């Protein structure tokens, strides 16, 4: 039995330990380096950042955007007005927000493809409503770019530090 602040020690016989299948050992270069996959034709990657980790920007194609404006019908507006007085989620308006956002996003992807881009950086949504009619407007926009994987890419920042720490520990077996 251990006391507070003291590490508990357990004795385990070799009969109790299940056999763990051995896996091939990764070398340091294999662990640290790796080429990201190519972007599939017709796909567009999106990030709010100004770059993609493991990819280099080959060309800037320009600003791309998608705009969607939607409104619910008068009957639903009246029902949602009553719901607003009694409290609770305004489901019809939540659905409207989803529809408008998805349509704007789809249109931005189409614009990026027209510009021969395979990625969008600095992505943002802008949302607004107008009265009367309770129309919802969403603008999805960013910078269309062409990216390609960096061969033998070694991550930087936190991900790279974690991988380097693992590689260092693999280089020094028996130490923890």
Per-residue pLDDT reduced to its tens digit, 112-140: 999 999 999 999 999 887 766 667 789 99
Residue 107 included in any domain: yes
Residue 160 included in any domain: no
Residue 96 included in any domain: yes
Q: In percent, how much of the chain has pLDDT > 90?
A: 34
Tell me the average pLDDT across 78-85.
Answer: 54
Tell me the average pLDDT across 36-63.
Answer: 92
Does the pLDDT at position 145 exceed 50?
A: yes
Residue 9 included in any domain: no
Confidence of residue 167 (pLDDT cuts 50, 70, 90): confident
Residue 71 included in any domain: yes
**What average pLDDT is seen over the chain?**
76
Residue 91 included in any domain: yes
Residue 176 included in any domain: no
Instruction: Give residue 95's pLDDT.
Output: 76
Does the pLDDT at position 23 exceed 90?
A: no
Contact between 123 and 66 (Cβ < 8 Å): no
CATH code of residue 53: 3.30.110.70
What is the side-by-side order of every strand in the sheet holding 135-149? 45-46, 119-130, 135-149, 55-70
| CB-based contacts of 147, cutoff 8 Å, min separation 6 | 39, 45, 52, 55, 56, 57, 58, 118, 119
Residue 43 included in any domain: yes
pLDDT in tens, 97-114: 788 889 999 999 999 999
**Tally of structural domains, the chain:** 1
Residue ranges making up the domain that contains 63: 31-146
CA-closest candidate to residue 143, choices 114, 107, 119: 119
CA distances from 140 to 89, 101, 123 (A): 25, 8, 7
């Amino acid at each position: 039995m251990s006391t507070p602040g003291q590490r508990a020690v357990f004795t385990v016989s070799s009969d109790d330990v299940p056999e763990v299948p051995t896996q091939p050992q990764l070398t340091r270069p294999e662990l640290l380096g790796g080429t990201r996959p190519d972007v599939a034709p017709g796909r567009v990657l999106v990030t709010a950042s100004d770059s993609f980790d493991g990819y280099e920007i080959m060309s800037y194609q320009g600003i791309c955007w998608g705009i969607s404006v939607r409104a619910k019908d008068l009957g639903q507006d009246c029902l949602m007005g009553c719901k607003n007085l009694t409290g609770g989620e305004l489901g019809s308006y939540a659905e409207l927000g989803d529809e408008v956002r998805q349509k704007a996003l789809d249109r931005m992807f189409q614009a990026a493809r027209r510009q021969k881009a395979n990625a969008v950086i600095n992505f943002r949504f802008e949302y607004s409503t107008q009265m009367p009619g309770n129309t919802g407007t969403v603008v999805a926009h960013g910078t269309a770019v062409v990216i390609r994987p960096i061969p033998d890419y070694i991550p930087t920042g936190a991900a790279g530090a974690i991988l380097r720490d693992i590689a260092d520990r693999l280089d020094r077996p028996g130490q923890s």
